[in-house]
Chain A
Amino acid sequence: MSVRLEKPWLTLDPELVARLPGQLGVFQLANENHEVVYIGFAGGRSLFGLKGELTNWLGRWPFFRLEVNMAYRTRCRELLMVHFSDHGSYPTENTAQETAGLGRLSITAVTKMPINTKEGS
């Protein structure tokens, strides 16, 4: 899985949203220039999952993309940190509460490293 969410942008319209899955996961919203304006997730309390969450944003921004992901909380945090690393700020629609306590990533020149299956400390 790429650290960045790199799927193509889709039009945020009612017809497309109605066909979205009801699964858990993360999503990004973008303006006309494909600049990310919000990063969010559909979690265990989201009615109808990603479909429900994106329905709430209909008519406000033109584009979205999503990733079905059961680790929605950590993935969302990661995407927010990546955004901060790239732009020096969080997306404009994310509230202070949503970005409180986030850490720092330095993702440039990521080196591929082998991963074993042990939990660390």
Chain B
Amino acid sequence: MQLQLTQEQDMVVRMVRRFVREEIVPLEINLDPDTDQLPEEDSSRLKAIVQDMGLFGLGIPKEYGGPDLDMVTQALISMEISQHRAGLYAPCYGVFGGAGLAQLFESSDAQKENYLYPTLRGEKRGFFGLTEPSGGSDPARAIQTRAVRDGDDWVINGSKIFISGADRADFGLVFARTSPDKGRGGVTCFIVDTDTPGFHVRRIVHTLRSAHYATELQFEDMRVPHANVLGEVNKGFAIANDRLSRQRIPYSAGCIGVAIKAHEMALEYSKIRETFGAPLSSRQSIQWMLVDNEIDIQQAKWATLEAADLADRGEPFRKQAAMAKLVSTEGASRVVDRSMQIHGGYGVTKDFPFERWYREMRIRRIGEGPSEVQRHIIARDILGSSLR
């Protein structure tokens, strides 16, 4: 693995870093500290700048109008665009666009016309509906939402929880059990229009984060045409699983970006804040915190970039993505905690971003597969078939 950035990667990183520091961070001075939205005029202006930079639509393949960046470069960008208060769950307030539901790139031509292209044009929004009240860590077995074939339709009954954006979506990907006895081989992915009778968004699920809040869904005799099956019947789990592994790389990178920013602020503050006649940075207890921050960040960066590099080369990266997710979410949590500690009382106020990062980073050790599941994936990989 090449540890040195290419000239192009270095240029992109510098450009994005300058954009975040000059365009995004100053805006946050006047925004509510928990917001995930920019005023429309700022959002439009910044999207135009990102389009001029050639980076709008991160993760969208070139043939669909995206910048077609490799995974390593995308990870490097994700580490930059999260370096501000809202950066963990609303990196740059969405002005870099994104692939949205990447599964739609594999959809049929008719599905692309109805859902993918309108989404890429910003005319439609979608949601990803996998997790259920019965669990999210083992979706293949936990899915209890049932879909039963009835003529040209499927009739879906059940519920989903912790689903982001469903209340504002035009459609969603809903995973439902179509063969009760087949475990992970009995799950199908359906594209569901949210104006379908029987589709209900029951409530917002309030959590530690306010950005991209989650909702609870209920389906009551919801009829979905067979033409809206994404992929093949009973092969929906592969669609979900691929997304879960791939998503762990930018998910990790976002945590690292916040950790880098928190550490940078702690370094600066430790040099100017004096106690008992000397700056904090002269105290060994503080120095060790800063050293541990540095180590946590480097470990997470290497693990994440290695996983991205493997993905770019088309090699298996499931174990490395799990490692990246594990070390970056746990390491970044420690970095934010130490940086908050170094800032003392100011660290816990809403005047500084640490309290938001602290709350939101706690979710990161659970979302997209908790730390324990990542360890399970790694154990299964190194122990092979001896582990069930």
Give the B-binding residues of A (Cβ under 8 A).
1, 3, 43-45, 71-75, 77-78, 81, 97, 100-107, 110-111, 113-121
Contact = CB atoms under 8 A, between A and B. Distances in A.
Interface in B180-231: 194, 200-207, 210, 213-216, 218
A116 B133 contact: yes
A121 B247 CA distance: 10
A113 B218 CA distance: 10
In the complex, the 9 A-B pairs of residues with the closest C-beta atoms, listed nearest first: A120-B162, A103-B167, A119-B367, A120-B131, A44-B350, A44-B33, A103-B168, A118-B136, A73-B210
B326 interface: no
A107 B130 CA distance: 21
B130 A120 contact: yes
B16 interface: no
A68 B218 CA distance: 29
A105 B203 contact: yes
A104 B199 CA distance: 11
9 contacts: A74-B206, A97-B39, A102-B167, A103-B215, A105-B202, A113-B133, A120-B136, A120-B163, A121-B128
B33 A121 contact: no
Interface in B151-198: 159-169, 194
A77 B213 contact: yes
Nearest to B175: A121
Contact of B32 (A73, A107, A120): A73
Contacts of A115: 133, 161, 205
B347 interface: no
Contacts of B164: 120-121
B58 interface: no
Main secondary structure of the interface of A (DSSP, over half): loop
Contact of B200 (A45, A102, A103, A106): A106
Given A44-B34, A119-B363, A120-B164, A111 B202 contact: yes
A100 B131 CA distance: 28
B370 interface: yes
A113 B204 contact: no
Nearest to A1: B206
A106 B367 contact: no
A74 B204 contact: yes
Interface of B: 32-35, 37, 39-40, 128-131, 133-137, 159-169, 194, 200-207, 210, 213-216, 218, 350, 363, 366-368, 370
A62 B18 CA distance: 50
A119 B130 contact: no
Contacts of B167: 81, 102-105
B103 to A, nearest CB: 11
Contacts of B203: 3, 78, 105, 107, 110
A113 B161 contact: yes
B359 to A, nearest CB: 9
A121 B161 CA distance: 9
A119 B347 CA distance: 26
B33 A114 contact: no
Contacts of B207: 71, 119
Contacts of B162: 118-121
A76 to B, nearest CB: 10
Contacts of B130: 120-121
A21 B204 CA distance: 25
B52 to A, nearest CB: 25
Given A115-B205, A119-B367, A121-B162, A73 B128 contact: no
Given A103-B168, A121-B130, A73 B204 contact: no
A3 B166 CA distance: 17
A113 B136 CA distance: 15
Given A113-B159, A119-B207, A120-B131, 9 more contacts: A44-B350, A103-B167, A105-B201, A106-B201, A111-B202, A111-B218, A114-B134, A119-B131, A120-B164
Nearest to A71: B206
Contacts of B135: 116, 118
B160 A120 contact: yes
A47 to B, nearest CB: 12
